[in-house]
Structure 1
């Protein structure tokens, strides 16, 4: 059976309770022992009244008492102070009977030690006074000659006081144990509740203990762990959704050309009276769909290669300006056939970078292919290059139809296309921008879309220079 932490605290404090009682008893014993050790060294014990009293007070030698900070007074039978030397706490030359009686009764309550002796031959009282250093007035006296009723009353009174003391001490111990236990069990319970919710799948749970001790560090660790788990679960769900979408997109994009190929092949096999022209047209459709399926599979293979640990570039030191002019020059015929305008802003001075020229060229080719594929005639394509602070920036812009806002954040994901209908006439696989971005990242740079909601679009390629 589990033992509650609060009960363990109570047990521990009960031990402390017993130890407190023992410590109290030992304290009185030690105080009594210490008092006995120092009693002989105290001035009041070294110079008692009995040591200096004489039958004739005029013969009393009070010098030793006075030298040790004390005082000596002699009061005769008429309560007159007939002799005084050193410390004098009486303050009068003559006392009344009531005043002298009061002085004798209250002498133990004053911060002085008084020793008073009566000399019957000389008929006077000798008073020796010393300042009290520390005084603890506690003593246990027992006299068997006392009345049994008085003894019983005194015994019950003492027992009641001790019992009340023990009950108060026990109550304080219990309250303190509960308060101390609550300071630990309450935060632990909150952490347990948070852990249980986390185990049950509520990854948004957080713990707020409102503390600034070690539990606060445990709270922060728990919350950081929950945040990380929530983030990981979110990424896993998103990855799973992307994987399912990728499979659906691959299936969809392969199903159309393969179905078309199958249908036309069956048609060619079953229709014997087909004209030569129809035969050629069907074969052309089969060829185009075969090319489309092959291109999709090739780009899928290339994309998976880039995610492989074995993927690597073959970079060489390249003049980026000259290289970009060459790539743009090769694309001019494609732009002119599509009825596009073009502007190139490439500086004359050299800017060198480490490029895998074959793969890096794919970035420009894919961007150009998308621009031609999705934009109308008379669209103008602009390519510019700037290099500064050890970084080259290539902006590939067009003033065409632009990219819809709902696709701007996901445009670099596989199979995301501006053509939502996935029209086969565009010929796009939806993998070109994903491949282009991975190539840019492999070169230590990036490919981003600068979306501002206006007409057209601008893709920015960044790459470090050397």
Structure 2
């Protein structure tokens, strides 16, 4: 009987010791998890929690915590990206507003102080003042448009649109200008009627922006085209040119706020850097997508993708 009791006591002691070790290990893992998590949060590092354990419940907790850390890090990265973008935008806004306003003030000073100006010279200066003032007003309108689009305040009603008519009307609006500039114009619009979900006013603005952009930056190639195509689910509109294009390093950035190519700040290619950003937001407001492909002096294509309506 005594040997049996001794054996039982030893087994119980072993079980208690094992449970103690398991509990201690769990406590150590939880304490390490707490300390590591606090360190990650305080130092804002991109680390993940890594704990070697056989505890299934603790493993699930670690997975959940790591998912939360990843979400937090993505949010922080997005915030930093937006903050950098906003700083850049404010700097460029200051530049883009200051430059024409400084010119306007210069012209006004000449008009006020130079009494030797002829009537013709005064009219010429006033015309320049009006031109620069309109540039400022247009830029301010772009800022307001972008702000409304990104805040969701701009309501856009989606209806059925005949894409054949939409594409033809918009390219024809530029046809005389294109011919005058010596462009070769290629229009590929099928006889079959295609319909998409969109908004006439918004889509017209998108197409006008892209065609204007192609005229400005594709001038070297003297070729511009519009292609309408489709598959079972989507309608695609390609606006393309054969100009200097956009290098691969710039393609992912052209839709960012205030992003401009290096030469877009000179007199020939002057721009606010908001045109393509607004275009992208407008396409997204139509529940569509816009993509860019470019091989300099071969082909640069902006593709709009909208949901097709079948009839």
| C-alpha deviation, 1:323, in angstroms | 2.2
Counterpart contact for 1:404–1:418, Cα < 8 Å: no
Alpha-carbon distance in structure 2 between the residues aligned to 1:413 and 1:358: 23
Please state how far the C-alpha of 1:453 moved relative to its aligned partner.
6.5
How many angstroms apart in 1 are the aligned matches of 2:257 and 2:156? 21
| Structure 2 partner of 1:411 | 254
CA deviation map 1:246-286 (0-9, x unaligned)? 11111111110011111211121122222334323322221
Name the counterpart of 1:341.
184
Distance of 1:227 and 1:353 partners within structure 2: 38
Matched, 1:190 2:32: yes
CA distance in 1, matches of 2:109, 2:258: 30
Report what 2:240 is aligned to: 397
Q: How far, CA to CA, are the matches of 1:454 and 1:271 in structure 2?
A: 48
Match of 2:257, SS state, is coil
Residue 294 of structure 1 aligns with which residue? 137
Q: With structure 2 as the length reference, what TM-score do the two structures score?
A: 0.89
Q: 1:418 to 1:341 in 2, by over 3 A?
A: farther
Counterpart CA distance in 1 for 2:47 and 2:252 is 29
- Alpha-carbon distance in 2 for matches of 1:202, 1:257: 43
Distance 1:310 1:217 in 2: 41
Structure 1 length-normalised TM: 0.61
**Rg (Cα) greater in structure:** 1
Partner of 1:321: 164
Cα displacement string for residues 368-417 of structure 1 (whole angstroms, at most 9, x for unaligned residues): 11122223355211111112213111111111000133321011122222
Q: Indicate whether 1:261 and 2:92 are aligned.
A: no
> Contact 1:445/1:461 (CA < 8 Å) preserved in 2?
yes
- Give the match for residue 84 of structure 2: 241
Cα separation, partners in 2 of 1:180 and 1:327, compared to 1, 3 Å: same
Q: How far apart are residue 359 of structure 1 and its match?
A: 1.6
CA distance in 1, matches of 2:86, 2:165: 40
Going from structure 1 to structure 2, the CA distance change for 1:253 and 1:374 (only over 3 Å counts) comes to same
Q: How does 1:47-196 map to 2 (within 5 A)?
A: 138=1, 172=14, 175-196=17-38
CA–CA separation in structure 2 for the residues paired with 1:443 and 1:421? 28
SS of alignment partner, residue 312 of structure 1: coil
Match of 2:149 in 1: 306
Query: In structure 1, how many angstroms separate the alpha carbons of the residues matched to 2:48 and 2:185?
Result: 56
Tell me how far apart the structure 1 counterparts of residues 191 and 11 of structure 2 sit (CA, whole Å).
93
Q: Quote how far apart the aligned CAs of 1:454 are.
A: 6.7
Cα distance 1:305–1:177, how it changes in 2: closer, same or farther (>3 A)? closer
Structure 1: stretches of 5+ with no match in the other structure: 1-137, 140-157
**1:398–1:458: 8 Å Cα contact kept in structure 2?**
yes
Give, in whole Å, the separation in 2 of the partners of 1:371 and 1:220.
Answer: 49
Choose between structure 1 and 2 for higher RCO, CA contacts under 8 A separated by at least 6 residues: 2
Q: Which residue of 223, 236, 240 maps to 1:380?
A: 223
RMSD: 2.6
Q: CA deviation at 1:169?
A: 7.5
Q: Distance between the aligned counterparts of 2:296 and 2:268, measured in 1?
A: 26
Is the CA contact 1:203–1:226 (under 8 Å) kept in the aligned structure 2? Answer: no
2:123 counterpart residue number: 280
C-alpha separation in 2, matches of 1:421 and 1:356: 30
Q: In 2 relative to 1, CA 181–402 (structure 1 residues): closer, same or farther, beyond 3 Å? A: same
